[in-house]
């Protein structure tokens, strides 16, 4: 009995000694950033952080200063908010983008680590080239044709929520242009099934990137449905030839790279590209419309500009070109300003070697985090940051795709978003199509909820849109904004 007691005392003493040594060594070691950790092991500050992450980030910045760490769900996330930390985030060789996103990619699309790390840079270069400035002409004709077809399918009149309208237009347009025309409707499954499964997949993407699939049954089912769709469709996508030109689609260019290295994972990369395109195009378009229609003077100026550049009433089809859109700079400013106000909550890098920022050393293994959402609200870069002011973009050199200082919506560094050039052009034709619709709001207009990021679903937005598509007698200046003061 006494032997067992002595053994227990020895174990406790050893543990206490280890804790003391750990504390002493930490004090003698490099100074780490202040940490919001919570008291629950592994969970840390996860419960508070998960309830309202953007607000929690800003509260931590106010409490701890320009660099701080949040420990949550087993991860150390170190946030940087000022120039020195941002420079390290974008330029340091001690931080790595691919290692930061590899695990979420595996969770959401079943791409193994070795395959992702092998193909990522090749795919990034391929997509960057395919969607670059000199290849824009390949997309403009297809976009014109697809938007006109979708407008015709809407019928002469109808009623739907704004977000549903945007999805109804952009889901088929995006898939037809980037993947293969008729990919969705060529299958026996109804197009509504595709919409339903993609929305579940998109809405649960953040949870799916971190949690086991058995905890997310509906999300997992939709993921498998989409993967099966692409498994079945890959041969047709490869064989597809656009009617009007011989240029390969973006997905065909991606498949050329993937199938040379990892043939079995073609469907996984198709799913990733589907999510990357739709989860950005839809909310960007939605918020751009919301902001424009909530500012009557801006809306009027845009409609008058469209009439001047693209022609007035009585034209069956309006043809949009890159040169014409360059004359409608206010549209592009509105898109960039909407993205600024609804930017991603965070972007990340993995620290591979300890890196010094200000007076702190960030240890290897940390996730270095930057919040475009809050950076875009820094009055140093954006005066009156909460206001929708598209005219601020006069100062940017958009001809050379140089954005305003502090603008981080498309990331930065080596792996900046390859679609940053095409993204604004993609939304512009949908803005043009709005001039062909007489749109009225049938319920009280609600401003976007504070704290909602670009990639977040607009919740409970009380907008009902009445569409009256006019073919021969459309007068763009008739488009008006109205509200019913008795609605909730």
For the annotated binding site, the residues are 417
Q: How far out from the chain centre does Cα 333 lie?
A: 18
Q: What is the 3-state secondary structure (H, E, C) of 191-248?
A: HHHHHHHHHHHHHCHHHHCCCCHHHCHHHHHHHHHHHHHHHHHHHHHHHCCCCCCCCC
DSSP state of 395: G
Residue 101, CB half-sphere, CA atoms under 13 Å: how many?
14
**Residues in binding site for heme:** 417
Evaluate whether 307 touches 476 at the Cβ level (below 8 Å): yes
Bridge partners, residue 361, by sequence: 356
**Beta-carbon count within 10 A of 211 CB:** 14
* Residue-wise DSSP of 9-54: HHHHHHHHHHHHHHHHHHHHSPPPPPEE--SSTTTBTHHHHHHSHH
Strands 95-96 and 347-351: antiparallel
Angstrom CA distances, 103 to 66, 74, 94, 213, stand at 28, 14, 19, 14
d(CA 294, CA 327): 23
Round to the nearest angstrom and report the end-to-end CA distance of the chain.
74
d(CA 275, CA 283): 12
d(CA 218, CA 244): 40
d(CA 143, CA 176): 9
d(CA 285, CA 64): 36
């Amino acid at each position: 009995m006494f032997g067992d007691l002595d053994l227990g005392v020895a174990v406790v003493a050893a543990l206490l000694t280890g804790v003391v040594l750990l504390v002493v060594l930490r004090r003698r070691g490099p100074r780490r950033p202040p940490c919001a950790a919570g008291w629950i092991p592994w969970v840390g500050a996860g419960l508070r952080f998960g309830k309202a992450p953007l607000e929690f980030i800003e509260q931590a910045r106010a409490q701890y200063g320009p660099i701080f760490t949040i420990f949550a769900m087993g991860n150390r996330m170190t946030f940087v908010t000022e120039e020195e930390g941002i420079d390290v985030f974008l330029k340091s060789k001690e931080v790595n983008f691919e290692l930061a996103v590899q695990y979420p990619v595996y969770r959401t699309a079943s791409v193994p680590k070795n395959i992702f790390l092998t193909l990522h840079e090749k795919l990034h270069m391929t997509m960057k080239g395919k969607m670059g400035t000199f290849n824009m002409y390949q997309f403009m004709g297809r976009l014109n044709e697809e938007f006109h077809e979708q407008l015709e399918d809407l019928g002469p009149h109808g009623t739907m929520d704004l977000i549903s309208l945007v999805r109804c237009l952009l889901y088929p347009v995006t898939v037809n242009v980037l993947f293969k025309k008729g990919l969705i409707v060529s299958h026996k499954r109804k197009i509504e099934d595709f919409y339903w499964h993609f929305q579940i997949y998109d809405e649960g993407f953040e949870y799916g990137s971190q949690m086991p699939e058995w905890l997310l049954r509906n999300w997992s089912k939709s993921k498998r449905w989409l993967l099966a769709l692409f498994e079945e469709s890959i041969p047709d996508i490869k064989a597809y030839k656009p009617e009007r030109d011989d240029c390969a689609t973006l997905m065909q260019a991606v498949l050329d790279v993937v199938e040379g290295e990892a043939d079995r994972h073609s469907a996984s990369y198709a799913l990733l590209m589907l999510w990357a395109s739709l989860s950005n195009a839809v909310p960007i378009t939605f918020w751009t419309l919301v902001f424009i229609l909530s500012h009557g003077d801006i809306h009027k100026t845009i409609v008058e500009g469209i009439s001047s550049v693209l022609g007035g009433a009585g034209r069956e089809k309006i043809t949009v070109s890159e040169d014409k859109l360059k004359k409608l700079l206010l549209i592009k400013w509105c898109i960039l300003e909407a993205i600024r106000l609804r930017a991603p909550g965070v972007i990340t890098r993995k620290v591979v070697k300890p890196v010094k920022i200000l007076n702190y050393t960030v240890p290897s293994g940390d996730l270095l985090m930057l919040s475009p959402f809050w950076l875009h609200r820094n009055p140093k870069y954006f005066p009156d940051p909460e206001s929708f002011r598209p005219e601020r973009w006069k100062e940017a050199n958009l001809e050379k795709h140089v954005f305003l200082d502090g603008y981080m919506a498309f990331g930065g560094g080596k792996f900046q978003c390859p679609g940053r050039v095409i993204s604004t052009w993609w939304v512009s034709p949908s803005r043009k199509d709005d001039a062909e619709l007489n749109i009225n709001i049938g319920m009280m207009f609600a401003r976007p909820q504070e704290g909602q990021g670009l990639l977040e679903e607009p919740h409970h937005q009380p907008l009902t849109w009445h569409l009256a598509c006019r073919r021969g007698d459309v007068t763009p200046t008739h488009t008006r904004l109205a509200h019913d003061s008795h609605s909730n």
